[in-house]
Structure 1
Amino acid sequence: MKNKPVRINSKMTDLLTLAISQNFIPVVDDHGIFIGIIRRREIIEYYANLVEKENDQEDNLVN
């Protein structure tokens, strides 16, 4: 199985799209050289933190 890589300057939405079908996403630099991996779990945690922050902000506005 080949996992599609993203470039270092990719947007989080690009990562989320790939994470639907890949457990991890390889990251490459501008020359196509492998520099690391982002796990699906890390992407989910990132978005979960965003939702939590938004909910906290909404709670603060209501109170």
Structure 2
Amino acid sequence: MKITFGQMGVRGVLVYCHCGHHVALDVDRWPVNVRLSDREPHFICRVCGGRGAEVQPE
């Protein structure tokens, strides 16, 4: 089931790259109707340059 940031009710997420690098992000920059799965492919790792990530609620 795909859920939106608004449905999750969280203010931040942890973004994990496949190389092991991770970062915490504030989700207030995105509208509440944006789906978590819609954002995952757009992340680019600043360490390895890899595209895509696993995103989890903080």
Pair in the same fold by TM > 0.5 = no
Q: TM-score, normalised by structure 1?
A: 0.30
Larger Cα-atom Rg: 1
More helix by share: 1
Q: TM-score, normalised by structure 2?
A: 0.31
Q: Greater relative contact order: 1 or 2 (C-alpha under 8 angstroms, separation 6 or more)? A: 2
